[in-house]
């Protein structure tokens, strides 16, 4: 018999007009197409957004050709045990910190860069703590299958080369970006991370939940 989780945290930023977006990506636009308040028989909204709007999953195809698209990501990466940890303060997250986590094969790692209880910023941030290439390589070496962050990208803003993406996606990891990790305490959970099934997509907005 299914035992419902005692606690559930929704990590998903609501899609809305004026949601902060990565410069160069499409802005989220939500338009009323039909409205019962205006005499229509139903309510229908029209959405315009990018594949990396809000809380989203990056598939390897985001930066690499001829590799896994978002509709072909394995369930084994998107569903299962996950660990939420607080990243150290500073401009970068280095390999020594990742080694201290003692990750195991099949790990799903969620890195919180803001202090607990601090909500996502209302505007697109000018900077954020990002992984170093060496830290990304440690995550790959440990056999992780998913990395989640509460920042718009695993790379630094305006990084000259998306090295961290290339290391992680090149190893076949799924990336969960722009997750709201402000509420759950550090610890072990079950992650449910379901991106939209966009055929041959490089990524997709998703609904991400933590449960225990």
Tokens 């201290």 -> residue: 100
At residue 62, the 3 state secondary structure works out as: helix
- Pick the closest to residue 153 from 132, 177, 129, 127 (CA basis): 177
- Asked whether the beta carbons of 195 and 75 are under 8 A apart, the reply is no
Specify whether 52 is catalytic. no
- Asked whether the beta carbons of 146 and 78 are under 8 A apart, the reply is yes
Residue 141 sits at φ, ψ, to 5 deg, of -60, -30
Q: How many residues does the chain have?
A: 212
Whole-angstrom Cα distance, residue 129 to residue 205? 22
- Active site residue: 52, 56, 62, 165, which one? 62
What is the pairing mode between strands 79-86 and 130-131? unpaired
Whole-angstrom Cα distance, residue 57 to residue 106? 17
C-alpha dihedral (46, 195, 81, 175), degrees to nearest 10:
-110
Whole-angstrom Cα distance, residue 126 to residue 179? 17
- Active-site positions read 62
């Amino acid at each position: 018999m299914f035992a419902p989780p005692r606690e559930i945290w929704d990590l998903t930023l609501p899609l809305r007009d004026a949601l902060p977006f990565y410069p160069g990506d499409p802005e989220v636009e939500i338009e009323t197409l039909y409205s019962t308040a205006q005499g229509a028989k139903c309510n229908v909204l029209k959405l315009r957004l990018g594949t990396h709007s809000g809380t989203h999953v990056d598939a390897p195809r985001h930066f690499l050709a001829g590799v896994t698209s978002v509709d072909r990501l394995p369930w084994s990466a998107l569903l299962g045990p996950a660990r939420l940890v607080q990243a150290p303060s500073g401009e970068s997250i280095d390999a020594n910190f990742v080694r201290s986590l003692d990750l195991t094969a099949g790990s799903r790692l969620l890195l919180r860069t803001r202090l607990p209880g601090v909500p996502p910023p209302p505007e697109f941030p000018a900077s954020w703590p990002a992984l170093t290439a060496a830290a990304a390589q440690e995550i790959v070496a440990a056999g992780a299958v998913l990395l989640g962050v509460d920042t718009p990208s695993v790379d630094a803003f305006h990084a000259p080369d998306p090295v961290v993406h290339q290391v992680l996606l090149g190893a076949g990891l799924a990336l969960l970006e722009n997750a709201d990790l402000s509420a759950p305490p550090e610890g072990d959970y079950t992650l449910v991370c379901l991106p939209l099934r966009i055929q041959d997509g490089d990524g997709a907005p998703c609904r991400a939940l933590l449960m225990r």
